[in-house]
Amino acid sequence: MTPQLIDFLNQKQAQYNQRGFIGNDPIVVPHAFSKLQDIEIAGFFAAIFAWGNRTTIINKSKSLMEAMQHAPHDFVLHHGPQQLKALLTFKHRTFNADDLLFFIEFLQQHYRQHNSLETAFTRGMQPGDAHIENALIGFKQYMFGFEHLRRTQKHVSSPLQNSSCKRLCMYLRWMVRHDAAGVDFGLWKTISPAQLVCPMDVHVARAARQYGLFTRKQPDWLAALELTNNLKKLDPTDPVKYDFALFGLGVME
């Protein structure tokens, strides 16, 4: 990696990692809240919905928050049949009302026992884990340990299927990273920013490949690890901050 490329990526990271980025990104949805659990739930749905057009993702996420009376944690814990009935027409691409009702049931069962969604992700982690692979595997196994429709599993990816897990990696970036820019929340402390894996969507993959940051043909889990390991050469403690640079280069430019 040349000094010129390093300087360029640092410049682009600083350019896009600022509060002006929030308004046009799905992270704007959890930024509407201040309560920990509301941020977690709003962010979780915004991340799960994050494929396709960003404006549509944001609008669908906001419409769900409106249906939850802009109090998602309270809704998850205390909803009744009438509140659920209002969700039966919800649909975002292949995510339908059946999927949504299961997600709400899972969140209710979890929050009845735990104060934060963080514990759902850290339960699978092992001491000394270099990255979040076990966290993602453990989360999916935990979530679908509850009774569910088989079709709903497709909405939560796992490294075991060699998926890049872009949406969950993005969600963990939101919850774990923290810096002065204030885009990411940094609410979870059990997972280190150094353990995060760069979210790899088509835009990030295109930019990363252009700059020689990964070589695999498919943008899969192993490609996401290869990319992240190369980004660790730039910053071993916070490699995923370069997601801002690569996403900006892939989408904005």
List pLDDT tens digits, range 120-162. Answer: 999 999 999 999 999 999 999 999 987 777 788 999 999 999 9
Q: From CA 174, how far away is CA 53, in angstroms rounded?
A: 19
Mean pLDDT score, 111-116? 98
Summarize pLDDT for 7-38 with one digit per residue, the tens.
999 999 999 999 999 999 999 999 999 999 99
Dist CA 51 CA 205 (whole Å): 15
For residue 230, give the nearest of 244, 213, 216 by alpha carbon. 213
Note the pTM of the prediction, 2 decimals.
0.96
* Structure confidence at residue 146 (pLDDT): 76
Domain boundary assignment for the chain: 3-252
Nearest-angstrom CA–CA distance, 245 and 238: 13
| C-alpha span between 137 and 28 (Å, rounded) | 27
Q: Would you state the pLDDT for residue 138?
A: 97
